[in-house]
Amino acid sequence: MKFKLFKNSLVQKLLEKVPENLERYKSGDFSNWLETEYEDEFFEVDVPNIKNIDFEILNNRKGDRVQDDVDVILFFKQLEGITPNLARDPRLWTTFCHMYALPYIRMRNPTVFEQDEDEAVNVIKSRLFITGGGRGFERTNSLARLWWYGYIAKRTDLDFDKAIHALVENTDHRASTIERPTLAICSSYMKAMTEVFIEHKEKDDKFFNSRESYRPMMMSVFEMAGRSFYPALKPLEIKAKIDDQISLHRESKS
Amino acid sequence: MRFDLNDSFGYPVLRPDNDDYVGCAIQSSINAVADADLSMVTVSYQISISAPEINKLISENKVELLIYGECRDTWFDIVHYPQTKDGTFSITGNKIDGEFVLTCIVVAKEKIKSYRSIKFNPEYGDAKFDIERGEILAFDNPQSFYITRDTFRNITSLFDYSANVNISVGEWDVSLDNDRIKVEVNPIQLPILRTAEGTNKNKAVLLSGIFLPIVIQIINEMNNNSEEYGDLKWFKVIEQKRVSLQHSIAKNPVRVAQALLKQPLLKLNTTMGWVE
């Protein structure tokens, strides 16, 4: 499949024009306008691994409750074939957000236009463009974050759906893994930690529902990483260390 | 995965700028180079360790020497176990984009009881230490490389225009303090520049009138102020492009800048109807 993407110059123009395009972000459409007015400011990238992307699956989602894990599964599975370095290109996500996924982004950010104009502009910049380095991809852009959550879960080589539910559903789990890339880039650690989350979710272990017990346990896991070099250990060995910490912290609470 | 280089490990660790050990060192010379289309990245290394007890433990297979590579932007990590202290290994290029950090580390493969070295700082006296599997015995400073598709794009893709009300119409200034190079102009000037970018004739003017002097300044800054700017993305990308230029022009900022911009004067020639 060929992706027709914005050139960097068009990304910059749109970024500068967010305040004057507010109405279009609220209820209009960008695709026809940009293709007509800025025809020369697109370029094509051939992505042979992707046959088709159905954005309507996301656009038809109902906003009755936040379900990042479901969105990730719906979106990432279609785009699994793109390489991480293409997924690190701001032009890809800025194009997708503006051309194909506006209804989904509006649904996920229902209060954007209830705020004052400056705040609305800031939210649009963070949700439809890539701002703020790595965080912009992994946390704030409405589509990039879905892909990166999916990619990070896939790296664990565990059951994809279980890994996604375990990592994304609980914001504390997300905060202690995906949002701590310095440690979580270590693939053996991520696999071990995700397995722990899956196991305890399946057992419905209340330990993980209590921030009071969960957070000090995670601090101990982070401290251990300062001395043991996790990449040199097997995921099972790291998991055993995490399990030990859970037992220790569970005992100290009882 | 990064650890605090100055942290106490509770036992002596051989590392640079630290006196846990005296009269010995770990030194690694690592290089990471991407091939022309970024399909493959080759890492070459040479490692030397002069602590006799650590070398003995390596030969006894009780500790292992490894090179750990990580790329924050693509969530990629790799552990390479060298068979000898110098060699190479390769990584598929599409797994890396941006900063790629490589660190040489020595880690315990099994529990080592009562470890001590004659090279320990005398302050340790006769102390012996138990080292657990996975714990670190030695490491060199991480070495950072910048591998990005930007290297294969025009250098002008590193530039952004931005509005600055303090600059008069017709003037411009440049800021090098961020990852991307910022060309600041008056807000009235900004749309004029944007429109000008759309035609080849005006592009020739912009290349010679704005980009060329900036790149000359940048080359001078890179020669004289590498410590100030060395960590920024534009520096690393231009540095990578610069090493591939002909040696004969490498010391002349005016010639280097023209080469990096693919000879702006040729653009003018083309717009004047000149055909080679």
Residue B10: strand, helix, or coil: coil
Task: List the single residue in B with minimal CA-CA distance to A82.
Answer: B94
Confidence band, pLDDT 50/70/90 cuts, at residue B275: low
State whether B161 and B54 are in the same domain.
no
Q: Residue B233 — φ and ψ, nearest 5°?
A: -60, -45
- Residue B59 is assigned to a structural domain of this protein: yes
> Is B197 in contact with A9 (Cβ distance < 8 A)?
yes
Tell me which residue of B90, B105, B97 sits closest to B44, measured CA to CA.
B90
> Is A227 in contact with B95 (Cβ distance < 8 A)?
no
State whether B98 and B120 are in the same domain.
yes
pLDDT digits 0-9 by tens, A23-34: 999 999 999 999
Task: List the single residue in A with minimal CA-CA distance to B110.
Answer: A233
State whether B163 and B254 are in the same domain.
yes
State whether B130 and B42 are in the same domain.
yes
State whether B143 and B155 are in the same domain.
no
3-state SS track over chain A:
CEEEEECHHHHHHHHHCCHHHHHHHHHCCCHHHHHHHCHHHEEEEECCCCCCCCCHHHHCCCCCCCCHHHHHHHHHHHHCCCCCCCCCCHHHHHHHHHHCCHHHHHHHCCCHHHCCHHHHHHHHHHHHCCCCCHHHHHHHCCCHHHHHHHHHHHCCCCCHHHHHHHHHCCHHHHHHCCCCHHHHCCHHHHHHHHHHHHHHHHCCCHHHHCHHHHHHHHHHHHHHCCCECHHHCCHHHHHHHHHHHHHHHHHHHC
Q: What is the pLDDT of residue A65?
A: 58
Per CB-CB distance under 8 Å, the chain B contacts of A183 are: 1
State whether B82 and B175 are in the same domain.
no
State whether B76 and B166 are in the same domain.
no
Q: What is the pLDDT of residue A223?
A: 87
Tell me which residue of B234, B233, B232, B241 sits closest to B260, measured CA to CA.
B241
Residue B51: strand, helix, or coil: coil
The total of structural domains in chain B comes to 2
Task: List the single residue in B with minimal CA-CA distance to A41.
Answer: B198
State whether B79 and B62 are in the same domain.
yes
CB A51, CB A11: distance < 8 Å? no
- Residue B146, CA distances (Å) to A38, A146, A213, B151 in order: 33, 26, 41, 9
**Nearest CA of chain B to the CA of A207: how many Å?**
27
CA–CA dist A168, A170 (Å, integer): 6
- Residue B13 is assigned to a structural domain of this protein: no
CB B229, CB B238: distance < 8 Å? no
State whether B91 and B103 are in the same domain.
yes
Helices B189-196 & A8-16, crossing angle to 10 degrees? 160
Least confident of A107-116, B178-187, B211-220: A107-116
Task: List the single residue in B with minimal CA-CA distance to A184.
Answer: B1
CA–CA dist B105, A68 (Å, integer): 38
Q: What percent of chain B has pLDDT over 70?
A: 95
> Is B197 in contact with A155 (Cβ distance < 8 A)?
no
- Residue B142 is assigned to a structural domain of this protein: yes
Interface test with A, best of B15, B70, B77 (most A CBs within 10 A): B77
Per CB-CB distance under 8 Å, the chain B contacts of A229 are: 1, 3, 68, 105, 107, 134-136
Q: What is the DSSP letter of B120?
A: B
Domain range for B50 is 26-147
Would the pLDDT of B152 be above 60?
no
Residue that finishes a domain, picked among B108, B123, B147: B147
Residue that finishes a domain, picked among B147, B166, B201: B147
Q: What is the pLDDT of residue B11?
A: 94
Q: What is the domain partition of chain A in residue ranges?
A: 1-155, 157-254
- Residue A139, CA distances (Å) to A109, A154, A179, A181, A218 in order: 14, 17, 8, 12, 21
- Residue B17 is assigned to a structural domain of this protein: no
> Is B135 in contact with A226 (Cβ distance < 8 A)?
no
What is the average pLDDT value for chain A, to the nearest integer?
A: 90
Average pLDDT over residues B73-78: 94
pLDDT digits 0-9 by tens, A123-145: 999 999 998 778 899 999 999 99
Would the pLDDT of B151 be above 60?
no
Average pLDDT over residues A105-132: 90
ipTM: 0.89
Contact residues, chain B to chain A, C-beta under 8 Å: 1-4, 7, 9-10, 64, 66, 68, 70-77, 79, 94-98, 105, 107, 132-136, 149, 157, 160-161, 163, 190, 194, 197-198
Per-range mean pLDDT, top range of A72-86, A162-176, B238-252: A72-86
State whether B260 and B228 are in the same domain.
yes
Least confident of A27-41, A112-126, B27-41, B176-190: B27-41
Q: What is the pLDDT of residue A254?
A: 66
**Nearest CA of chain B to the CA of A209: how many Å?**
27
B172 Cβ neighbours under 8 A, 6+ residues apart: B183, B184, B185, B189, B210
- Residue B2 is assigned to a structural domain of this protein: no
Per CB-CB distance under 8 Å, the chain A contacts of B98 are: 88
- Residue B237 is assigned to a structural domain of this protein: yes
CA–CA dist A2, A43 (Å, integer): 10
Structure-token match 């020369």, residue found: A40
- Residue B91 is assigned to a structural domain of this protein: yes
Least confident of A51-65, A114-128, B96-110: A51-65
Task: List the single residue in B with minimal CA-CA distance to A39.
Answer: B198
Global pTM value: 0.81
State whether B175 and B125 are in the same domain.
no
- Residue B4 is assigned to a structural domain of this protein: no
pLDDT digits 0-9 by tens, B243-252: 767 777 878 8
Q: What is the pLDDT of residue A28?
A: 92
State whether B159 and B131 are in the same domain.
no
> Is B107 in contact with A152 (Cβ distance < 8 A)?
no
